[in-house]
Structure 1
Amino acid sequence: MRRTSARVKLISAVAVTTAVAALGGVSAAHSMAAESEDFGVLASGSPTGFGAGTTGGGNAETVTVTNAEDFEEAATSDGPLNIRVQGMIELDSMTKVSSDKSVVGVGSSSGFEGSGLNISEADNVIIQNLIFRDSNDDGINVQYSTHVWIDHNDFTNPNDGSLDIKRASTNITVSWNHSYDADKNMLLGHSDDNGSEDIGKLNVTYHHNWFDGTVQRNPRVRFGDPVHVYNNYYDGVESYGVASTEDAGVLVEANYFENTEDPYHLGEADSGPGSIEAVDNYFVNSGEGEDGGSVANIPYSYSPDPAQNVKSIVTAGAGVGHV
């Protein structure tokens, strides 16, 4: 993924001015105090499911960042940009990512610790190959955002959720992530009282994720219909896997549940039930799950792996270092 031709190190105002001219007018905000590289697609692959068509930074400029100040400047800048994160960056608070950005980790040991990312009022964002560790809030929060692809990341030990998607966000794919040492893992729809914003939205695809001893919310769903949960590996999930609530409709398809007493159910806590259609799942030392009701048709083409093969496929390919 590294692009090294025509690199410039921007170390002064003069250097910034020169670089902007050389790169055809790219904003200094994209380049200042960061290593600027050539142009081209940074993220690997393309999303399947509701997030299909998400391109992030596309063919825009690529910059490499190694500290919080440079990352925030790049992530909040206007216009398309590819951001390479090199090493672990310490964040003090949730840091906004604006529209048309790809944020991609270098190698298998790059990411964020201390806090996480806030994708808010944004469109067309890719987050890939990053570690999210020990956040004082969420690993990633998505709200009022569309066309987001969250792929091949590690989530561990957040204070709140690993990945929360809420407030009318939609057209999102969550794929090939590895979550561990997490309680409230992945929430979809934050409140029973937010139907006015969320009904008709919150369409998310979760596929080939590894829920590795997580406790709950894998995901917990409100209102979204359809939501597609397929080809995920649930290993030793402590409380429950999928919960469909508040008239949500979730297709739970071709997943591998191991040592998971409650794979999926309807309703949760004070939230009323939604619907689950369970199809072709595979169970090892696990409960059978609770399904019922009807789910809207999945509006895209896809080819699920056989459920009995999902454990080996996901453990070999999920998380950082496998893109």
Structure 2
Amino acid sequence: MPGRIHRLMQGAVPLALVGAVLAVPSPAAAAPTDLVGWATVNGGTSGGGSAATTTVTSASALTTALASTSAANIRVSGTINCSGMLRVRSNKTIIGNSGAAIVGCGLNINGDRNVIIRNLSFRNWNDDAINVQESATNIWIDHNSFSNGYDGAVDIKRGSDYITVSWNRVFNHDKSMLLGHSDSNASQDVGHLRVTYHHNWFDSSTQRHPRVRFGNPVHVYNNYYNNNSGYGVASTEGAGVLVEANSFENVDDPFHLGEGSSDAGTLVARNNLLVNSGSGQTGGSVASIPYSYTADAAASVKSIVTANAGAGRISV
């Protein structure tokens, strides 16, 4: 019914579910430039750190810089047109200068670790915009914009772990964020695929915000969802997803268990704001969140996220 407002507050969630999710709160909400979540665990994520900085303006220069086995800070300047997937090796920070864009191709983190990707606009990719796979760890994907691509904006799979996806905007796109690629990959994925998704803007994108297999706990908090015609969050194949303090507006199916032929996972929802949206589906319990964080109030999420998410919103 137009104009209806549902509020999922902690008191509305069965106590057995609430008690199963233990968070360690911080004293104040993080600034839009701070790293929070799973990428702070397992030694943290620093990317190129204090290594030398190189600026790239062409596909060939970008490919070479990403493929180096040495730590590096890589600045992308202008629009780089490319195709396929470019391999990113360990200990890299890839950050866009003002207006930087990668058009036609994507970045592939394949078994490497300690990578930061920030402030880039990805458009018209012909595979995935960012693919993280084969037990890659400690990845931070932050303040990027994704539009008009072929497959996933950010796909994470095949045993990858300790990842934060924050302050991104996805628009004019279908398949947003896949976590776990196959129902038959439990042997590699169970005990891994632990990801934090926070303060992302899913702006009329269709589905997979995220679609989760096996990972537990997966933390989805303070994201703004608007006009998503497919669904918001799906928990499948034994995954455990905490959906917390998000804002859903005009989303008939904000979160549910199972998806397609995938069996159900578990999902705990608390303190979400649902405006002109469905009530969602929950069930089961979720493992404890091990890191410190503070969730913004769901009523503030829309204004905070739309003002700060996506490329071009941070000082570089």
The structure showing larger relative contact order (alpha-carbon pairs under 8 Å, at least 6 residues apart) is: 2
- Cα distance between partner residues in 2 of 1:89 and 1:48: 29
Superposition deviation, residue 111 in structure 1:
2.0
What's the offset of the Cα at 1:260?
Answer: 0.3
Distance 2:241 2:109 in 1: 24
Which segments of 5 or more consecutive residues in structure 1 lack a partner in the other structure? 1-43
Residues of 1 paired with 2:146 and 2:198: CA distance? 15
Q: What amino acid is the match of 2:245?
A: A
Q: 1:111 aligns with which of 78, 101, 107?
A: 101
Cα distance per residue 1:213-260 (max 9 Å; x no partner):
011100000000000000000010111000000000000000000000
Deviation of the 1:157 alpha carbon? 1.0
Instruction: State the TM-score, normalizing by the size of structure 2.
Output: 0.87
Counterpart position of 1:49: 37
Q: Is 1:162 matched up with 2:150? A: no
Structure 2 residue corresponding to 1:312, chosen from 303, 306, 309: 303
Q: Counterparts of 1:63 and 1:184 in 2: how far apart (Å)?
A: 32
Residues 1-323 of structure 1 mapped to structure 2, 5 A cutoff: 45-52=33-40, 53-107=44-98, 109-144=99-134, 145-323=136-314
Amino acid in structure 1 at the alignment position of 2:165: V
Aligned to 1:18: none
Q: What letter corresponds to residue 249 of structure 2 in structure 1?
A: E
Uncovered stretches (5+) of structure 2, i.e. residues with no partner = 1-31
For 1:277-322, what per-residue CA distance to the aligned partner results, in whole angstroms no more than 9, with x for missing partners? 0010001100000001010000111000000000000000000111
Give, in whole Å, the separation in 2 of the partners of 1:48 and 1:92.
32
Alpha-carbon distance, 1:46 to partner: 3.9
Matches of 1:213 and 1:68 in 2, distance apart? Answer: 30
Number of aligned residues: 279
Identity of aligned residues (%): 58
In structure 2, distance between residues paired with 1:239 and 1:162: 16
Q: Give the C-alpha shift of residue 92 in structure 1.
A: 1.6
- For 1:114, the aligned partner's letter is G
Q: Distance in 1 between matches of 2:101 and 2:131?
A: 15
Which residue is equivalent to 2:26? none
CA distance in 2 between counterparts of 1:74 and 1:117 reads 12
Query: Could you tell me which amino acid in structure 2 is paired with residue 152 of structure 1?
Result: H
Q: Which amino acid aligns with 2:37?
A: G
Q: Shift of the alpha carbon at 1:98?
A: 0.4
For 1:234 and 1:260, locate their aligned partners in 2 and report how far apart those are by CA, in whole Å. Answer: 7
| AA in 1 matched with 2:125 | S
Q: Give the deviation of 1:274 after TM superposition.
A: 0.2
Q: TM-score, normalised by structure 1?
A: 0.85
Deviations 1:86-108 (A, max 9, x none): 0110112110110000000001x
Deviates more, 1:112-121 or 1:255-264: 112-121
- RMSD of aligned residue pairs (Cα, Å): 0.8
CA distance in 2, matches of 1:241, 1:123: 28
In 1, the alpha carbon distance for the partners of 2:64 and 2:33 equals 26
In 1: Cα distance, 2:247 partner to 2:33 partner: 24
Q: Post-superposition, which runs of at least 4 consecutive aligned residues in structure 1 deviate over 2 A?
A: none
Q: Deviations over 1:149-204 (max 9, x none)?
A: 00000000111111100000000000000000111110000000000000000000
SS in 2 for 1:116: strand
- Aligned residue for 1:55, secondary structure, equals coil
